[in-house]
């Protein structure tokens, strides 16, 4: 499994009403310094991946060129019961704490405990 595939697989497991950060996903997949690679993977999400449940380290909706997608993310989070105030959500209240348990199998599928090029798509 590629890193990108592992990111998408993990994001699919985030429950409704819960959020995680780009850095938490990277660290959970054994690549703690690959938060930007997670962001790149999220930019290229296939349909059906709940991309809106991933926020930045401050719990904020990350800025992007398409402002409409920022509004879409806010609306989708609020529909799931996650309030967004001043562009941020409460990581303490809505963070997905079980992310560590959900990623053990993904790290094994990545091989070498997640070492290697985070954007390797082979």
Domain that holds residue 58: 3-113
Q: Answer yes or no: is 39 within a domain.
A: yes
Indicate yes or no: pTM above 0.75.
yes
Q: What is the pLDDT of residues 63-86, one digit of tens each?
A: 888 888 899 999 999 999 999 999
**Beta-carbon neighbour count of residue 56 at 10 Å?**
16
Q: Answer yes or no: is 32 within a domain.
A: yes
The total number of structural domains that make up the chain:
1
Q: Answer yes or no: is 118 within a domain.
A: no
Give how far Cα 10 sits from Cα of 44, 66, 68, 84, 106, Å: 15, 25, 25, 23, 8
Let me know how long the chain is: 122
Q: Answer yes or no: is 14 within a domain.
A: yes
Q: Answer yes or no: is 122 within a domain.
A: no
Q: Answer yes or no: is 109 within a domain.
A: yes
pLDDT given for residue 122 in this prediction: 36
Which parts of the chain register pLDDT below 70? 100-122
Q: How far apart are CA 48 and CA 45, in angstroms?
A: 8
Q: Look up the CATH number of the domain holding residue 12.
A: 1.10.10.10
Q: Answer yes or no: is 121 within a domain.
A: no
């Amino acid at each position: 499994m590629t890193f990108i595939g592992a990111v998408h697989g993990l994001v699919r497991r985030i429950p409704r009403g819960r959020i995680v950060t780009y850095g938490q996903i990277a660290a959970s997949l054994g690549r703690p310094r690959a938060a930007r690679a997670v962001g790149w993977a999220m930019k290229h999400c296939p349909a059906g991946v709940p991309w809106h449940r991933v926020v930045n380290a401050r719990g904020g909706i990350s800025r992007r060129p398409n402002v409409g997608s920022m509004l879409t993310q806010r609306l989708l989070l609020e529909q799931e019961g996650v309030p967004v105030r001043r562009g941020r959500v409460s990581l303490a209240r809505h963070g997905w704490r079980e992310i560590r348990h959900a990623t053990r199998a993904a790290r094994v599928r990545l091989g070498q405990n997640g070492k290697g090029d985070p954007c390797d798509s082979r």
